[in-house]
């Protein structure tokens, strides 16, 4: 695991100095993160990197999990889809299941922090344990057009928090509590993002029998309908009529996502007859994902909804040209025609992919711009800084704060 000093060659000494200055001002505070899973998905991934670094900076940071059974996670997955604006048949029984598990967690989870940082809807009801400490609710989901039944249910809890955090401006809702905009981040030194020796990349290609004789289009995402893997295959098919290329769909599954396997089956069925479509289930094989991104000619992220879309930042960090949907946090990462191409449809995605495959110099420039943008705005060090500022803001209501 990297130390904070290891980031100096990437972001520079003064950035790390600023982090230390902020950490000094949080001495004596205990920060307690709470979420629902220790593995899989963006939240766990970020916490795995961030918690040790905050501790190293001297901020007493801890991480606890709630517990939940199969029914609970089926309900929270339904909530997740509904908050993303998808049709979802939410019944009173679902709310009852959610509350039954929440009550158990309220009884069992030990709350000891000065600042309690709750991630996503699963642990949201823990706010019932609020005393004189400060509580933050961090929403990682695209709630720009939420199902009102679910949002209304959750809002009863949200309004009891001291502050909330969203990943994109469009997710902001009318709330009586403060709302902060903090984008997630990638860790440039993690296995998923660090530089890889060529022999490692070659061994991954060999393992999955992938040849680089044809351009490679890749989407890295959980097998989830909101990531539109079937739309990706359709876009690839449209490109393939003109350019001989191959498609890699790489996905894992998260412990709190029971829907993943059925989506994977649908994807396999649609791709069945094409030997140039590689479907790889790589749960938690970060180095392999890294290698596959690095050998790709064009990356794609054709999500229908997206909380933030960290895979976009990962691709751009590797200076890859990318085609991505104009949803959620993606437009924060891609400025159309400067650092990637945004699309709104299967046809638009196919057209953009063709453009990039046929204009390698243009594609290269987009990738280079994208890497610089990620370096300035979406690396873990910026994220750690924002979280420390967030903790400090809980004791300041003014717009200009002298520390």
Q: Which residues bind another protein (CB under 8 A)?
A: 12-15, 17-18, 21-22, 25, 144, 166, 169-170, 172-175, 178-182, 326-327, 335, 338, 369, 372-373, 376-377, 385-386, 389-390, 392-393, 399-403
Closest C-alpha among 90, 82, 26 to residue 57: 26
Nearest distance in Å: CB 342, another protein: 12
Minimal distance, residue 272 CB to another protein, in Å: 35
In the complex, what is the shortest distance from the CB of residue 232 to another protein, in angstroms, rounded to a whole number? 21
Name the one residue in this structure whose structure tokens are 């590689």: 278
- Measured from the CB atom, the residue of 72 and 161 that comes closer to another protein is 161
CA distance 87 to 379: 34
25 or 149: whose CB is closer to another protein? Answer: 25
- DSSP symbol at 159: T
Closest separation between CB of residue 366 and another protein, Å?
Answer: 12
How far the first Cα of the chain sits from its last, in Å, is 31
Question: Cα–Cα distance between 376 and 117 in angstroms, integer?
Answer: 25
Of the two residues 21 and 243, which places its CB atom closer to another protein in the complex? Answer: 21
Considering the complex, what minimum distance in angstroms separates the CB of residue 143 from another protein?
Answer: 12
Q: Which is nearer to another protein, 69 or 169 (CB)?
A: 169
Hey, how many other C-beta atoms are within 10 angstroms of the C-beta on 370? 27
DSSP bridge partners of 342: 324
Contact 254, 222 (CB under 8 A): yes
DSSP 159-207: TTSSEEEESSGGG----SSEEEE----B-TTSTTTS---HHHHHHHHHH
Q: How far is the CB of 178 from another protein (least distance, A)?
A: 6
- Given a contact cutoff of 8 angstroms between Cβ atoms, the answer to whether 192 and 289 are in contact is yes
**264 or 342: whose CB is closer to another protein?**
342
Phi and psi torsions of 325, nearest 5°: -70, 150
12 vs 360, which CB is nearer to another protein? 12
């Amino acid at each position: 695991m990297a130390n904070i000093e290891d980031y100096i060659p990437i972001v520079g000494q003064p950035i790390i100095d600023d982090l230390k200055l902020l950490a000094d001002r949080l001495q004596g505070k205990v920060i307690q993160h709470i979420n629902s899973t220790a593995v899989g998905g963006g939240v766990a991934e970020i916490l795995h990197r961030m918690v040790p670094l905050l501790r190293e900076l001297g901020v007493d940071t801890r991480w606890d999990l709630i517990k939940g059974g199969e029914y609970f996670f089926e309900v929270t997955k339904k909530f997740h889809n509904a908050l993303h604006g998808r049709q979802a048949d939410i019944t009173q029984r679902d709310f009852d299941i959610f509350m039954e598990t929440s009550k158990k967690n309220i009884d069992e989870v030990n709350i000891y922090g000065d600042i309690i940082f709750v991630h996503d809807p699963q642990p949201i009801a823990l706010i019932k344990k609020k005393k004189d400490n400060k509580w933050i609710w961090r929403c990682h989901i695209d709630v720009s057009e939420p199902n009102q039944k679910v949002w209304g249910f959750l809002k009863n809890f949200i309004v009891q928090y001291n502050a909330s955090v969203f990943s994109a401006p469009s997710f902001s809702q009318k709330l009586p509590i403060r709302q902060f905009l903090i984008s997630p981040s990638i860790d440039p030194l993690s296995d998923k993002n660090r530089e890889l020796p060529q022999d490692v990349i070659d061994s991954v290609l060999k393992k999955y029998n992938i040849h680089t004789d044809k351009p490679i289009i890749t989407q890295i995402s959980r097998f989830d309908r909101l990531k539109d893997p079937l739309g990706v295959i359709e876009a690839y098919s449209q490109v393939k009529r003109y350019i001989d290329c191959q498609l890699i769909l790489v996905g894992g599954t998260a412990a709190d996502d029971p829907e993943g396997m059925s989506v994977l089956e649908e994807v396999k069925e649609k791709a069945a007859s094409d030997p140039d479509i590689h479907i790889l289930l790589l749960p938690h094989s970060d180095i392999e994902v890294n290698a596959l991104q690095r050998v790709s000619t064009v990356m794609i992220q054709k999500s229908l909804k997206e909380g933030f879309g960290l895979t976009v930042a990962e691709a751009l960090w590797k200076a890859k040209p990318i085609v991505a949907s104009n949803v959620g946090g993606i437009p924060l990462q891609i400025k159309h025609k400067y650092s990637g191409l945004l699309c709104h449809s299967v046809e638009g995605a196919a057209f953009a992919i063709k453009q990039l495959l046929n204009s390698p110099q243009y594609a290269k420039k987009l990738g280079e711009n994208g890497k610089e943008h990620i370096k300035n705005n979406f690396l873990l060090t910026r994220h750690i800084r924002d979280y420390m500022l967030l903790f400090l803001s809980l004791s300041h209501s003014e717009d200009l704060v002298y520390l």
